[in-house]
Structure 1
Amino acid sequence: MTTRRHFLAGLAAATLSPVRSWASVGAPDFLAAALFPDGSYRLAGLDAHGAILFSLPLPARGHAAAAHPFKAQAVAFARRPGTFAIVIDCASGAELAQLEAPAGRHFYGHGAFSTEGERFYATENDYEAGEGVISVWDGTSFERLGEFSSGGVGPHDMRLMPDGKTLVVANGGIETHPDTGRSKLNLPTMQPNLTYVDLSGTLLEQLELPFALHKDSIRHLAVRGDGLVGFAMQWQGSQTEYPPLLGLHRWGEQPRLLSAPEADQNTLQGYAGSIAFSADGNTIAITCPRGNALHRFNANSRAFIDAFALEDVCGLGAGRDGLVFTTGTGTFGALTGADPAISARSDCQWDNHLIPIRSLA
């Protein structure tokens, strides 16, 4: 763990040096966590074709990361129920700070910077109270400034909306406690929701699924430039049921739930891993690692487009001409047409998420 003396010295040095932008590390297009053959967990920066530009060590298994909007900095999160998040200078590989969840809390693996990077927000579990929390951190010193309610239980993913003033939070509805590992403690009564809050924590709108779908845990999010929110779900009910795993929502409207044809939907084992809109926003897709599948839908008509068989596919993001994906077998591929094209095979196991870097200043 970084000592206060080393952290302050590093911070002072950083203020005397030019700001190192994402261009200074080869302008990576994506960040992804991975397990490497030597047993190390690392955060990697990838170019548009999946080549590894850099990889930086993590103290344990990572989940997702958040990229600073213009500095070459990333916050890499532990997998739930981890309590660390590492702030990394991706130009030098130095650890700038380590965020520690307070006593009685753990991170859920996701966070988001404000538009100018002056604040950082993270999803947390107040596991003694059984409530979700959004913590607020200074985006430069990474001092914890405060917190507010997530509006539900089990907040997992969270995104900044295009207005720069609103956070959308995926409250998965599942209560957990570190004393019981990753066990799910409230499945009979769980109630996931999609919550919109302003940056001060004021609840603006909240969406709950119909009771028949109260075991469809809302887990991951994608946001289109016009504010359309896509949400991916993980079914906690009977494996003889095959509910929708993808939804679309626009603020002030009713949600739209999307499913593939029965023969395709029934192979997914009730689990969507990641979600993303294509670069042009016309396509939305989910990955299903348990079912070794990737499904694409038309984001405007909501019609199912196609399904692809891809072993252990999970990471998903917008590529320059469509969608890109990673797998637990080390592959990186693109979907720009009718068939997936593998462009890189790395000697690692890519973890759940592929995080796009929006700005390459």
Structure 2
Amino acid sequence: MTLSRRNLLGWLAAVPAMSLSVSALSVMATGCSQRQGDLLLGGGRFMNPDGSGQRYVLALVDLQQQQTDLIDLDFFPHGIHWHPDAPDRLAVFEKKGPHAAEVDLGARRLSRKIDARPGRYFYGHGAYSADNQQLFSTETRLDGLEGVIAVRDADSLAYLGEFPSYGKEPHECTLIDNGKTLVITNAGGPIGGAIPCVCYVDVASQQLLERVVLTRTDLNTGHVAIAEDGSLVVVSAPRTGMSLRANGGVSIRPQGLPMASMTQPEAIVKRMTGEALSVAIANGMALVTHPDADLVTFWSIAEQRMVHSLTLVRPRGVTLTKDGRYFLVTYDRVPKILKIAVADVFATPEVVVASTYVSGSHLFAWPA
């Protein structure tokens, strides 16, 4: 089906969020190796305009060309992680589900599926080991929600074993210390149950090095960003079983200082309804998205305080441009991408992509 511009604009105004036509976007014909400028990746889902059902995609957005390419998947992508030796090879995970896959970015196709182990589900994220030989993923046992870090061969995807996440319902995992330490967020259980925490695990011995808990007991531990000096920022949703209208939050541990969950400024913290979703760090500052609150917040890490806030309709994913000069944020019900200068977050942001399919929780900048 081909839509005229006039009909398309009228149709977009009338349909629910994410109901975009593929014909609304041009598609890149060149491979990634021929690309110039920033290439962004994110998960998307939308209803096909012909009524044939929901479509799940991995969306590739070329900022310079203002073009978007779509790779069809059979699940909603959450975490997207590339093989360090072969950045065209991506490991893509579903959040709270049985689906994961390896995607060939150059060929624009799903190349292999990654099977969940019996009795557990993927929780959305993974990481390749420092020697590029292994792929880690966060997984949860269905009979008690104990957390597991599954280990697979990075090339064959054969299952090699596992080690504990040292908590319940692990979500994000990321490597630091040149790959020696795996940092894991364990979302925990309802209040009164398992305590949400961030665990630092030695990869070689698979032993717990440190467990960090938040100073607000009503928050889980969701996504993290870690600065070059080791400072930690955690963004959180309300604990399991709480109202979806309860407040999420932001917690900050500057290098060498205790962890603290932010309680000020009170007016902004009270406004942070629902989950604090995504976070990125630049120039000593963390940008956090709050989609249910139509809010973006900016925090000084060293001073553990908010420095700015911005009203934005349903902000979700955030990443940095290759040169580190700008935050890029996905937002709005028909997703757009906004550019915010790191050096001056008070300056008027600029819309750099007016229509894109990236409706998932994250926006990733392809490193190659």
Consecutive unaligned residues in structure 1, runs of 5 or more: 1-20, 175-185
Does residue 74 (structure 1) correspond to residue 90 (structure 2)? The answer is yes
Work out the CA distance in 2 between the residues paired with 1:148 and 1:24.
Answer: 40
Compared CA separation, residues 53 and 225, structure 1 to 2 (3 A): farther
Q: Deviations over 1:125-182 (max 9, x none)?
A: 01214300001111111111111000100101111114321010010103xxxxxxxx
Name the structure 1 match of 2:223.
220
For each residue in 1:301-359, what CA deviation from the matched residue of structure 2 results, as whole angstroms up to 9, or x when unmatched?
223111111111110112331311112421001110322211102253521111233x3
Contact conserved, 1:191 with 1:215, CA < 8 A, in 2?
A: no
Structure 2 partner of 1:329: 334
Aligned-CA RMSD value: 2.4
Alignment partners' CA distance in 2, 1:83 and 1:24: 34
Task: Output the CA distance in 1 between the equivalents of 2:65 and 2:134.
Answer: 30
Distance 2:222 2:268 in 1: 21
1:312 is the counterpart of 2:328: no
Letter in 1 for 2:73: L
- Residue 230 of structure 1 corresponds to 233
Q: CA 1:240–1:155 in structure 2 vs 1: closer, same or farther (change >3 Å)?
A: closer
Contact 1:41 1:57 in 2 (8 A): yes
Describe the shift of the 1:100–1:24 C-alpha distance in structure 2 as closer, same or farther (beyond 3 A). farther
2:40 match: 30
Give the stretch that moved more between structures: 93-102 or 26-35. 26-35
Give the TM-score, by structure 2 length: 0.80
Matched, 1:147 2:165: no
**Alpha-carbon spacing, 1:104–1:251, altered in 2? closer, same or farther (3 Å):** farther
**Relative contact order: is structure 1 or structure 2 higher (C-alpha 8 Å, sep ≥ 6)?**
1
Q: Give secondary structure in 1 for the equivalent of 2:267.
A: helix
Q: 1:298 to 1:29 in 2, by over 3 A?
A: farther
Match in the other structure for 1:264: 268
Task: Tell me, in whole angstroms, the C-alpha distance in 1 between the residues paired with 2:85 and 2:264.
Answer: 38
Counterpart residue type for residue 79 of structure 1 = K
State the distance in 2 between where 1:22 and 1:69 align.
15
- Mapped to 2, the partners of 1:99 and 1:27 lie a distance apart of 31
Structure 2: tracts of 5 or more residues without a match: 1-30, 49-53
Identical residues among aligned pairs (%): 25
Partner of 1:292: 294
Distance apart, 1:292 and its partner CA: 0.7
Give TM-score, length-normalised by structure 1. 0.82
Contact 1:276 1:318 in 2 (8 A): yes
Any conservation in 1 of the 2:103–2:109 contact (CA below 8 Å)?
yes
Distance 1:255 1:248 in 2: 6
TM-aligned CA distance change 1:24 to 1:68, over 3 Å? farther
Deviations 1:87-145 (A, max 9, x none): 01100023332111111010001111123432211100012143000011111111111
Aligned equivalents of 1:272, 1:49: Cα separation in 2: 30
**Counterpart amino acid of residue 330 in structure 1:** P
State the shift of 1:46 in Å. 2.5
| 1-structure distance, mates of 2:68, 2:78 | 19
Contact kept in structure 1, 2:75 and 2:99, CA below 8 Å = no
1:254-291 Cα shifts (integer Å, max 9, x gaps): 2133345222221221420111112xx32101100000
1:207 is aligned to 2:223: no
Residues 128 and 27 from structure 1, CA distance in 2 versus in 1: closer, same or farther, beyond 3 angstroms? farther
Paired residue for 1:135, among 130, 146, 150? 150
User: Aligned partners of 2:151, 2:72: CA distance in 1, in Å?
Assistant: 25
Aligned partner letter, 1:218: T
| Distance across 2 between alignment mates of 1:66 and 1:27 | 19
Q: Comparing 230-239 with 189-198, which one deviates more in the overlay?
A: 230-239
For the residues of structure 2 that align with 1:303 and 1:149, how far apart are their CA atoms?
Answer: 34
Aligned pairs, number: 322
Which has the higher mean CA deviation after the structures are superposed, 28-37 or 306-315?
A: 28-37
**What is the DSSP-based 3-state SS (H/G/I as helix, E as strand, rest coil) of the residue aligned with 2:258?**
coil
In structure 2, the residue matched to 1:276 is 280
C-alpha distance in 1 between matches for 2:147 and 2:139: 6
Q: Distance in 2 between matches of 1:167 and 1:121?
A: 9
| Contact 2:229 2:255 (8 Å CA) reproduced | no
C-alpha spacing 1:317/1:162, structure 2 compared with 1 (3 Å): farther
Pair 340,171 (structure 1): closer, same or farther in 2 beyond 3 Å: same
